[in-house]
Structure 1
Amino acid sequence: MQSTTINQATQGHYPIPEKMRAAVLFGPGDIRVVDRPVPQPGYGEVLVKVALCGTCGTDLKILDGHFPLTPPYGQFTPGHEWTGTIVALGEGVDEFSIGDRVCIEAHHGCGRCENCLAGKYTACLNYGNREKGHRASGMTADGGFAEYVLHNVSALYKMPDSLSYKSAVLVTTAGTGLYGLDTAGGYILGQDIAVFGPGPVGLMTVQACKQLGAANVFLIGTRDNRLEVGRQLGADHIINSRKADPVKTVMELTKGLGVDMAIECSGNVATPQQCVQITRRGGKILFVAFYPGQVTFDLSAVVRGDIIMYTTRGEGGNNVKRAVSLAAQGRLRGEELVTHEFPLENIAEAFRVMRERVGDPIKIVIVP
């Protein structure tokens, strides 16, 4: 049974208004900042005052109306890469205190299906079913493009004092790459890895691979600025695919063997075939990106090469916790990827800048 009881014990430190400003999706491409009631935490939930909410390519799909199981237009607030401070506790919450700074996993599984019980909550069999308890913040439930947001206690992580809010936004992003690596075996010590796509996921994955002991990390993309950031973050070789053939270059640098694992973070429909071509026999390909349409590649070559393919969705497997630890140790750098900040009232302009790549943004954050 859901409860709306709020722990009032220390709430006075953070006065909570009745109304808040929130970005609401009214139709494809139509996002407006309006007044909404501040939500009340139910059993096992907390209310968080949002400090920052990052934007990503998935948000553009949601904005354009091309993402499944989002709530109805006129009711839904997107935003799934947010961080902030707990200001109220729902009934049954004793894992956190009011005033705790937290970062998140976007996905909270139903906790009752076979996949959730096996720890695969980003593949919850009740995905999008609110009645059975599933929530995906900013995707199937209201998210962080607002002053306040609700979240389940199971999908929160307390931030160490050394971690900034900007870094915490990228910690959620880092969880995506770490979950993929975890699923694909995790043990990449001494291996050669290729990462396609120097966006936020790719750049955080490059760092994770180096911290996990990869021998050589190849970063492949189309924008020199992002590739150079990748070099600064640990990539051993950067390849601009508009200036050099990435398949030929990687094969030359690996003496014809190819990489042990290719990680596809770009979402470009042409790159899966390149992954096939640069992965050595017996190697692995990991897909973590979403694509705008169907993808074609040579599956027979995958079979002939005895290559194993993996896919993962989101930041599952408790890997945000691992990302928090790595970031706190200074082993994952996220703050420097935040290139643009916009106030919540200007969120439509932020999405325009993101879509049109004005000023070559890497990570745009919204400040409520």
Structure 2
Amino acid sequence: MKAALLTEKGFIIKDVQKPRIGKTEALIRVKSVGICGTDLAIYKGTYKFPLPRILGHEIAGEIAEIGSNKSKFNIGDRVTTEINITCGKCYYCMHGLKTHCINRKALGITEDGGFAEYVKVPIINLHKIPDNITYNQATFIEPLAASIQAFRLTPIKEKESFVVVYGTGKMGLLEIQVAKILGAAKVIAIGRSDSQLKLARKLGADVTINSTKEDPIQRVKDETEGLGADITVECTGNPEVINKAIKMTRNRGTVALKSTHGIFVNIDITQIVVREMNLQGSRCGEFPPAIEMLKNKRVKVDSLISAEYSLDKIEEAFQFAMKRGVIKVIIHP
């Protein structure tokens, strides 16, 4: 099969052996796969993992082979897959926290992922894609699930919470929509691209702030009765933003950390202690709520797709994905 392998010198397109599946696995014929911020961090070298590797975990495709005839899935089913490959036996798996599995492996990070014609995944990780969700739209299921998880760990008080979403890339634009669905009193979007901020407003943001044109900290205070946000969701991947997020969040408020920086970040701990604030990390979430939101058209994603590329053009796709104003790039193997 054809695959894009990331090496120390960039991507190479190579014919590699198609994965062989076991009884508990399925082989997906990949139709669409999104470029994630984690993929970009590995590509840039800020998030270190052994190379070469086939990246890609925002996957949508159809089942080409399946190992078990007792499965609820069939060859030809349209599916997406979770990123985490877990043991099902450790403390975290036994307590419903499988994303923290001690023996966790990650599709497209520690294991070969979806930037290839086929990818091997555990059957238990599969989810059917409803008929009214396209393959391109289905690549948003994984990041949307992660967006929902941020507010599961930091719940919104309906019609009370002031929520800031710092960053108007893919994750930020999803967080804005989820915050509105969950009943935030006001959602404030902060970004550096006027076009993305315009889209943020269209997708539900009540206030938009261009941080290159005005002081976002003061503006947030002005919009929140002088107190600051109840919840600030950091979605930029920029280490300098975290301390700004802390400053624009009220005493005893929460800064929800959604970005994977891949590097150490200096944080003003004194602010956290004296103001009794919370820093809440979050990563992957459950797929069913995300699938329902897309199925019921409560979350809009088509306008988030900036470009589509064939697998042969993956190097060009990654270079494009790093440009300011680009939201989501999709690869078609």
Instruction: Compute the TM-score of the two structures, normalised by the length of structure 2.
Output: 0.95
State the shift of 1:266 in Å: 0.7
Deviation by residue 1:139-182 (Cα, 9 ceiling, x = unmatched): 11111101111111222211111111111111211111111211
**Aligned CA-pair RMSD:** 1.7
- How far 1:136 sits from its partner (Å)? 1.1
Deviation at 1:81, TM superposition (A): 0.9
Out of 112, 135, 150, which is 1:142 matched to? 112
Q: Does 1:263 align with 2:233?
A: yes
Asked if residue 326 in structure 1 is aligned to residue 269 in structure 2, the reply is no
SS of aligned partner of 1:38: coil
Paired amino acid for 1:23: A
Equivalent residue letter for 2:67: G
1:172/1:252 Cα in 2 relative to 1: closer, same or farther (>3 Å)?
A: same
Q: Deviations over 1:229-285 (max 9, x none)?
A: 111111111111000101100101111011111111111112111221121222211
CA distance in 2, matches of 1:248, 1:186: 23
Deviation at 1:67, TM superposition (A): 3.1
Where does residue 97 of structure 2 map in the other structure?
Answer: 120
Q: Paired residue for 2:40, among 54, 60, 65? A: 60
Alpha-carbon distance between aligned partners in 1 of 2:241 and 2:48, rounded to the nearest angstrom: 24
* 1:68, distance to aligned residue in structure 2 (A): 4.2
Q: Given that residues 243 and 268 in structure 2 are in contact (C-alpha distance below 8 angstroms), is that contact kept between their aligned partners in structure 1?
A: yes
Question: Does the 8 Å contact 1:188/1:209 carry over to 2?
Answer: no
Q: Could you list the per-position Cα deviations for residues 108-156 of structure 1 after superposition, in whole angstroms to 9, with x for gaps in the alignment?
A: 22222212222222222223xxxxxxx3111111111011111112222
Whether the 8 Å CA contact 1:198–1:230 is kept in 2: the answer is: yes
| Residue equivalent to 1:5 | none
Of residues 22, 31, 37 in structure 2, which corresponds to 1:42? Answer: 22
Which residue in 2 is equivalent to 1:344? 311
What does 1:128-207 align with in structure 2 at a 5 Å threshold? 135-185=105-155, 187-207=157-177
Paired with 1:63 and 1:273, the residues of 2 have a C-alpha distance of 26
* 1:223 paired residue among 186, 193, 196: 193
Deviations 1:321-367 (A, max 9, x none): 1110111111111122111001011111111212344xx32101001
Distance apart, 1:57 and its partner CA: 2.1
One-letter amino acid of the structure 2 residue matched with residue 81 of structure 1: E
Consecutive unaligned residues of structure 1, counting only runs of 5 or more, are 1-19, 128-134
Q: Distance in 1 between matches of 2:113 and 2:292?
A: 24
SS at match of 2:54: coil
Q: Is the 8 A contact 1:105 1:156 kept in 2?
A: yes
Aligned to 2:2: 21
Residues in 2 aligned to 1:93 and 1:361: alpha-carbon distance in whole angstroms? 43
Match of 1:100 among 74, 77, 86: 77
Runs of 5+ in structure 2 lacking a partner? none
Q: Distance in 2 between matches of 1:269 and 1:191?
A: 25
Give % identity. 35
Kept in 2, the 8 Å contact 1:202–1:265? The answer is: yes
Conserved? CA contact 1:29–1:63, under 8 Å: no
3-state SS in 1 of match to 2:213: coil
Structure 1 residues 283 and 88, CA, compared in 2 at 3 Å: closer, same or farther?
A: same
The runs of 4+ residues in structure 1 deviating greater than 6 Å are none
Give the one of 327, 330, 333 matched to 1:365.
Answer: 330
Deviation at 1:184, TM superposition (A): 2.1
Alpha-carbon separation, structure 2, partners of 1:248 and 1:81: 36
Change (3 A) 1:44 1:189: farther
Aligned to 1:280: 250
Does the residue aligned with 2:139 lie in a helix, a strand or coil? helix
Instruction: Note the alpha carbon deviations across 1:206-243, whole angstroms, 9 max, x for none.
Output: 11110111111011111111111111111111111000
2:42–2:49 Cα contact (<8 Å) kept = no
Tell me which amino acid in the other structure corresponds to 2:16. Answer: R
Q: Give the TM-score taking structure 1 as reference length.
A: 0.86
